[in-house]
Amino acid sequence: MSQRIADDLDAFGGRTVVITGGASGIGLATARMVVDRGGRVILMGRSPERLKAAREELGPTHLITAAAGTLRGRLIDLDTQRARELFDTKFWGQHHCIKYAASRMAAGGSVVLFSGWISRKPAVETSTLAAVDGAIEALARTLALELAPVRVNAITPGQIDTPLWRSRLSETEARAHFDRVARAHPVGRVGTADDVAQAILFLMMNGFMTGAVLDIDGGWR
């Protein structure tokens, strides 16, 4: 085994990675890759049952509950309180995580925030979500300066086949939806949780990247 491969397999040896939304989908895929590379993970999620299942799969971990969300609807029709709640969960949730974790992070640590493709490729009925995602990306760029030498980047997943999507659609609807998405992508397929997890590990491991917003969307237009 080459030294480079050996180093990659132990890339997170002795390190702790905190993952919100870590009980399933992209978060769980990232946790698997971190653990496979010698790391220790702290998972956050809303479902105690999924967190328990993740713990049993990954081995001993610390589990903390958190929240995330999405919202669709034309601005003139949306209840303002629901829009505020999306900011509370997706933007302020990440904001608070950083605020209270920053002082505990070593200089070689990094933060990867979650935005989304809606921020720069908006669609009808996504004004609030686009605004939240745009705010997260602006936060990442600014915190890259404020928290240096801790690095801060953001990931913007496209339409990824995850349990979150599957929970909204029947099996037939999901199959039809992802078939349409695959045809629209230059890469000819939908994204997977592992696709995004690999990009997250890249941002964590590349010590020369900070203030970046990385699209993982298959070339979606």
Instruction: Specify the pLDDT at position 156.
Output: 92
pLDDT tens per residue, range 131-170: 999 999 999 999 999 999 999 999 999 888 887 777 777 8
Edge-to-edge order in the sheet of strand 213-216 = 110-114, 151-157, 213-216
Domain at 1-66, CATH class: alpha beta
User: According to CATH, where is 3.40.50.720 located in the chain?
Assistant: 1-66, 82-221
Tokens of 164: 């979150």
Check if 115 is active-site. yes
DSSP 119: G
pTM of the predicted model as reported, rounded to 2 decimal places: 0.86
What are the φ and ψ backbone dihedral angles of 96, each rounded to 5 degrees? Answer: -65, -40
pLDDT band at 119 (very low <50, low <70, confident <90, very high): confident
Arithmetic mean of pLDDT over the chain = 86
Right CATH number for 82-221 from 3.40.50.720, 3.40.50.300, 3.30.870.10, 2.60.40.1080?
Answer: 3.40.50.720
User: Amino acid identity, residue 6?
Assistant: A
Instruction: Specify the pLDDT at position 61.
Output: 67
pLDDT tens per residue, range 74-102: 989 999 999 999 999 899 989 999 999 88
Helices (H) and strands (E) in the chain, counts: 9, 8
What value does the mean pLDDT take over residues 25-52?
89
Q: Choose the most confident range, by mean pLDDT, from 48-52, 58-62, 109-113.
A: 109-113
pLDDT band at 10 (very low <50, low <70, confident <90, very high): confident
User: Given a cut of 50, is residue 3 above it in pLDDT?
Assistant: no
Which residue reads 């919100």 in tokens?
A: 20
What are the φ and ψ backbone dihedral angles of 49, each rounded to 5 degrees? Answer: -65, -45
Distance of CA 146 to the CA centre of its chain: 21
* Strand partners for 18: 42
Tokens of 19: 């993952």
Out of 115, 119, 127, 170, pick the active-site residue.
115
Distances (CA, A) of 92 to 33, 77, 88, 113, 136: 27, 23, 5, 12, 9
